[in-house]
Amino acid sequence: MIRIYEKASKQKRKPGWQKSEVDYAAWLKGVQTMPSGIRKTNNTLVLVKKPRAPTPAEQEIKRAKYVVGTAGKPVPRPEILYHDDPEMLARELAARSRKFNVAPAYNKGGDQFVTEEELINQLTGNKRRP
């Protein structure tokens, strides 16, 4: 009789395998008993303290320091920012008083500078078509 499949030979264990197995079991037990940081509640009502709403005086101070700029971002008011330098205050107010006429160049395109006449034509609906 010819044997095609021989029995798999048992792996020989190295000396001291029992000690390493006991050490591994102790480590595993320690890891399994560690807290995960997740707390389970037994369907109890948990009261969460709401943050304190700012007083009207605090809101007014915050509003006075900043003015809404482009894209809704708060920009510091120049009167407060340059209160000690009148020359810089005048320069900042002059720069903010300039008006730039920009409009989209094409559908989903970036803005580009347009003249007063082109802006009026676009706002009234007169398109530049041949």
What is the distance between the alpha carbons of residues 118 and 102, in angstroms, rounded to a whole number? 10
Tokens 């709401």 belong to residue: 50
Question: pLDDT tens for residues 65-77?
Answer: 777 776 677 888 8
Return the domain boundaries, the chain: 55-124
* pTM, 2 dp: 0.35
> pLDDT digits over 13-46, tens only?
788 888 888 999 988 888 877 766 666 666 666 6
User: How far is residue 57's CA from residue 67's CA, in Å, rounded to a whole number?
Assistant: 17
For all residues of the chain together, what is the average pLDDT? 79
